Chains A and B, each alone.
Chain A
């Protein structure tokens, strides 16, 4: 079996592929504005290519550090955490748990256009080497 897995960057030229992937795999339909935002600073997106065909993507936003974070940064060990929202009842919850994400809380009526509308906030601490 030939498996060639690569990560690529998002550009204004291939952003159509990300939109198509999201539209066919996610229940949410994002607007054009959303994708344009992904190209700006403060967002990181990676595309996953399997044998040269795009099959996955991950996008994240870097939240500005809170006050207690600033204290942490002064210590030798720097901590950050990754947070994400997952629709309740989704298979993805188990997937994230495998990677040590924990449920932090339930947010009611997070989604506007899809059912069910609630989601979990899940997060996981990440150690970034000094």
Chain B
């Protein structure tokens, strides 16, 4: 920051000295110098700004803001003061305000590239692409020789979907490169980026031209060849594409993506692979026979025919061969490899037969079915292992446990069997036993990180956070607390599982604490994109940069986040509804918790900024909850809105949205959401539940406007008077009389509509026959405890008789 002009040379030197002290992080001396200077020049903006920055770095954040704001008030056109304020906001991660301040700073000093650079990183983060374009255009005008500005402008146009504009700037950028720069990795990256743009502009010939002409210079050959094949297919030159793809298979026969493209070159879509007509099957049969001869060691090439073959006999022959190779080599992952075939009933039938044949043959002659070669004594072990997983997948607990037990009897030291055994019990809801079995496996190899982490997860499912922490502490940084570790290393799975355990146990403050941590991590992922721009200009990896930025656009489209959002929404709802039914945490942990780490006297510092990381003043989330008790739905909707935006076909997400909006009486929002659910699956019990709950509340709400009410009734083609609703509910129950979940919803709604029909409602609820699962029923139990708390015991007993192993329905929670 240049000192203001009117100052004497002596004063200018003093400001320079302060600037140097600040750069050298000598804050105490700097502050003294500032104060001394301000005594004689109380209105000097430069000194005020330095003082603000210095005391911010001395952890006096509020005062820092005060000083910066005062500096602005005394001089509204001072770009330095605005820049300082923007800097403070950025450090506070208040990016919206930072952007505004930087913009003001830039407006008052159009010549400063530093301000524009700070502004542009915020604009990229906020995807203010129009603003970003202006910033880079201004930067380029100021400093036409700086490459990162060129790249910034190109990327901005690309993100705006204006590939043509991006391309023409890229062409000019090529012109300013000297010959020395037209070699090596950076140049190769630029060429490939150009192809990416041309491909998106549908200028296929130009793109191909580069790929062919510059083949020698291009270093990422794999990408280039794949792109070439893709473009050829877009031009309907499939035969040429096939030649290239077969060469790619030569490089790596086990790359599924290349195989998918190869199918595509034969006009076969990968999602149709399992339902092809005979002509296509024959075509693939010949192709893969050929490939198998060329690459006999490729596992994938042997597996693919299992996916497209439909003739039972052919499938069987192929499976005998394929499974035989895995079994003979004692490779445990066979089931994972075949798991994708289980949605085909015919294939499952053959799989069952093939493995039972293998087992019989191993028992009789120590050979595999259809072979005369003697197998090693451990082969039968992996056959048991497969069958155990096979029957678990078919939900046959008894059969699967039987095979696992035979395996354990055969070789008790083979820990993989205890892992599967744990899984079997988990699927039955016996989370206690599941943990115990997993712990047995873990104790057989304490050095195995996977077993340790997974076992911690089993402990959390068993509502035993202390045990999980004891196990997790084996692999975490010992000097820090669990919370600090999780948050620092962004251990989302642990946060989710621990939060879910607190949610089940009714400790909603702690649960939200964890779900908010996950939300914070996703914020951090978004912040990551501000750090890359300077790096990219050095490496010129624009392809990956664009892909990364596009990934950031959908960063919430992520299964763990969906889980978090659903858990969080349910937590907020439970705070309101207070279900009586909860699953308490284990009072006595299975493994003793390790002693807390000694409290270090040194405060923790952030290594990147050197600022002190404040101690967590709300470790149990109680302050957060107290603060939001009067407005639960604003934070809840942050989760739910992300959920329905990025998982638009997830009915559960929409249902949670309905329930939260029902709390706020936002009937029209619910109506819109209901219509969305209807378009996904109008037979879903969640559709009926939310539909009826909306109409029940609308009919009771005396303040609802007649227009809104009429609109809802019209859109849903249903009147909201009790008799109509009762009739509709009855017809729903009749229509789905074989489904336990539909009956449950119908029963709950019936009671809500007409408490005097309690007996009839309970009749529907207590009939748990038909397809359902224990986890769903735990949710039902929770829901029932908010509506008909007196019937919880009876329903629980009923569920216990249907799911005898599930701990959640057992008489007494074991501790």
Contacts from A to B (Cβ < 8 Å): 1-3, 11-14, 16-17, 20-21, 24, 50-55
Q: Are B447's CB and A14's CB within 8 A?
A: yes
Q: A1-B376, A2-B329 are in contact. Are A21 and B412 (CB under 8 A)?
A: yes
Q: Does B378 contact A (CB under 8 A)?
A: yes
A selection of 8 A-B contacts at a CB cut-off of 8 Å is A1-B328, A1-B373, A2-B328, A20-B413, A50-B378, A51-B330, A51-B376, A53-B413
Q: Name the residue of chain A whose CB is nearest to the CB of B416.
A: A53
Q: Name the residue of chain A whose CB is nearest to the CB of B330.
A: A51
Contacts from B to A (Cβ < 8 Å): 328-330, 373-378, 381, 411-415, 443-447
Other-chain residue from A2, A17, A21, A24 in contact with B445 (beta carbon distance below 8 A)? A17
CA–CA, A20 and B375, complex, Å = 26
B413: chain A residues at CB < 8 Å are 17, 20-21, 53-55
| B373, B374, B413, B444: most-surrounded residue (chain A CB, <10 A) | B413
CA–CA, A16 and B328, complex, Å = 28
CA–CA, A114 and B414, complex, Å = 27
Give the distance to chain A from B358, nearest Cβ to Cβ, in Å: 15
A53: chain B residues at CB < 8 Å are 378, 381, 411, 413-414
A52: chain B residues at CB < 8 Å are 330
CA–CA, A24 and B328, complex, Å = 26
Q: Are A1's CB and B375's CB within 8 A?
A: yes
CA–CA, A119 and B376, complex, Å = 34
Give the distance to chain A from B23, nearest Cβ to Cβ, in Å: 50
A50: chain B residues at CB < 8 Å are 376-378
Give the distance to chain A from B529, nearest Cβ to Cβ, in Å: 41
Q: Are B330's CB and A2's CB within 8 A?
A: yes
B443: chain A residues at CB < 8 Å are 16
Give the distance to chain B from A27, nearest Cβ to Cβ, in Å: 15
A24: chain B residues at CB < 8 Å are 412
Q: Are B445's CB and A14's CB within 8 A?
A: yes
CA–CA, A113 and B342, complex, Å = 51
Q: Are B412's CB and A20's CB within 8 A?
A: yes
Give the distance to chain A from B470, nearest Cβ to Cβ, in Å: 16
Complex A-B, nearest 7 residue pairs according to Cβ-Cβ distance, in ascending order: A13-B447, A13-B446, A16-B443, A54-B413, A51-B330, A1-B376, A51-B378
Inter-chain pairs besides A17-B413, A20-B413, A21-B412, 13 sampled, C-beta below 8 Å: A2-B328, A2-B329, A3-B376, A13-B445, A16-B443, A16-B446, A20-B412, A50-B377, A52-B330, A53-B378, A53-B411, A54-B413, A55-B413
A1: chain B residues at CB < 8 Å are 328, 373-376
Give the distance to chain A from B564, nearest Cβ to Cβ, in Å: 34
Q: Are B376's CB and A2's CB within 8 A?
A: yes
CA–CA, A53 and B444, complex, Å = 11
CA–CA, A13 and B329, complex, Å = 26
Q: Are B446's CB and A14's CB within 8 A?
A: yes
A20: chain B residues at CB < 8 Å are 412-413, 444
Give the distance to chain B from A21, nearest Cβ to Cβ, in Å: 5
CA–CA, A24 and B414, complex, Å = 13
Q: A2-B330, A2-B376, A50-B378 are in contact. Are A12 and B446 (CB under 8 A)?
A: yes
CA–CA, A109 and B411, complex, Å = 32
Give the distance to chain B from A122, nearest Cβ to Cβ, in Å: 27
A21: chain B residues at CB < 8 Å are 412-413
Q: Name the residue of chain B whose CB is nearest to the CB of A56.
A: B413
Q: Name the residue of chain A whose CB is nearest to the CB of B382.
A: A51
CA–CA, A17 and B416, complex, Å = 13
Q: Are A11's CB and B330's CB within 8 A?
A: no
Q: Are B444's CB and A16's CB within 8 A?
A: yes
CA–CA, A54 and B415, complex, Å = 10
Give the distance to chain A from B361, nearest Cβ to Cβ, in Å: 14
A13: chain B residues at CB < 8 Å are 445-447
Other-chain residue from B329, B411, B444, B447 in contact with A55 (beta carbon distance below 8 A)? B411
Give the distance to chain A from B325, nearest Cβ to Cβ, in Å: 11
